[in-house]
Amino acid sequence: MTKLERLLGYLIFTRAWTRSFVRSEFKRVTTYIDALFAMHPDGKGQSACVVMLGNTLVHEVSQTENCNKKLD
């Protein structure tokens, strides 16, 4: 129940957050790539990618890695 309340609180607080296209020069595509090793309890990692066109978010991916961390 605590988790549900927290989730609902987050959704209510962020319901006005929308993605905006900012006026800027669309000349360069910038990719931000980040990964976190073995952050999940089952030993899997998390990786994410954000593609920006100028100052505008165009594409984003966030997914759990398929392979587990190699445990000794």
Q: Which residues bind another protein (CB under 8 A)?
A: 15-23, 25-36, 38-43, 46-53, 55-64, 68-69, 71-72
Gap between the Cα atoms of 45 and 71, Å rounded: 13
Q: How far is CA 37 from the centre of its chain?
A: 15
Q: Could you tell me whether strands 29-36 and 44-53 are parallel, antiparallel, or unpaired per DSSP bridges?
A: antiparallel
CB of 54 to another protein, least distance (A): 10
Residue whose CB is less far from another protein, 8 or 21: 21
CB of 15 to another protein, least distance (A): 7
Element (H, E) at 15: none
Residue whose CB is less far from another protein, 4 or 22: 22
Residue whose CB is less far from another protein, 5 or 25: 25
CB 32 within 8 A of CB 52: yes
